[in-house]
Amino acid sequence: MRKLSLLLFLMGLMLACSSADDQQAKQAKLKDLEAQMRSLEALDTNLASQMLVGYSDYVAAYPKDSLSPFYQKKIAELYRAWPGKGEQVVEAYNKLMADYTYHEEGIRAVLSLALYYEERGDKQQALAAYQHFIDNFPSHSLADQARQLQDLLANEKVSDIQMVEEWMRKAKDSSQKESNSAN
């Protein structure tokens, strides 16, 4: 019985070591792919496909690992940079929000999705995403900016340049108020 317990322990230890080696190998491969992509001036779809598979495999294999939310965000960003992948962008951000709801990357994914909808000209979806952020994270440091962006988007009479200028003014006023209250 004692030998069996020792054998099981050793097998478990070997399995844990091989799993950690596999995890590190996947991370190293992803770092290499990222370095290759950064060296290019334009999106290489073949390389992007390899990265997407690598990120997806990692997130599926190690969903609780600290890198997984970041890799899920990278999936969304890759799709966002890839023309014609709008549906995949939304799916990737939704997965990030669902799987890592209270991780900072999951929270920021709500705003990223709202901005993506704005870029596409889908005002109603953008407004809904901003409202989702405000409702679910009202005390988050970006909640005021989400409210401001939502207000600016809701005001149809304002041009894009005016919207940005107004948002910048409100952000400046907000930061001045915070610094004054700290003093």
Residue 113 lies in a domain: yes
Residue 118 lies in a domain: yes
Residue 121 lies in a domain: yes
Residue 122 domain boundaries? 55-140
Task: Tell me: pLDDT of 40 over 70.
Answer: yes
Instruction: Note whether 126 and 114 are within 8 A (CB).
Output: yes
> Mean of the per-residue pLDDT values for the chain?
87
Q: What is the pLDDT of residues 121-174, one digit of tens each?
A: 999 999 999 999 999 999 999 999 999 999 999 986 656 677 677 788 888 887
Residue 98 lies in a domain: yes
Residue 111 sits in a domain of what CATH number? 1.25.40.10
What is the DSSP annotation of 10-40?
A: HHHHHHHHHHHHHHHHHHHHHHHHHHHHHT-
Structural domain count, the chain: 1
Residue 130 lies in a domain: yes
Q: What predicted TM-score, i.e. pTM, was given to this entire model?
A: 0.74
Residue 155 structure tokens: 């005001």
Residue 91 lies in a domain: yes
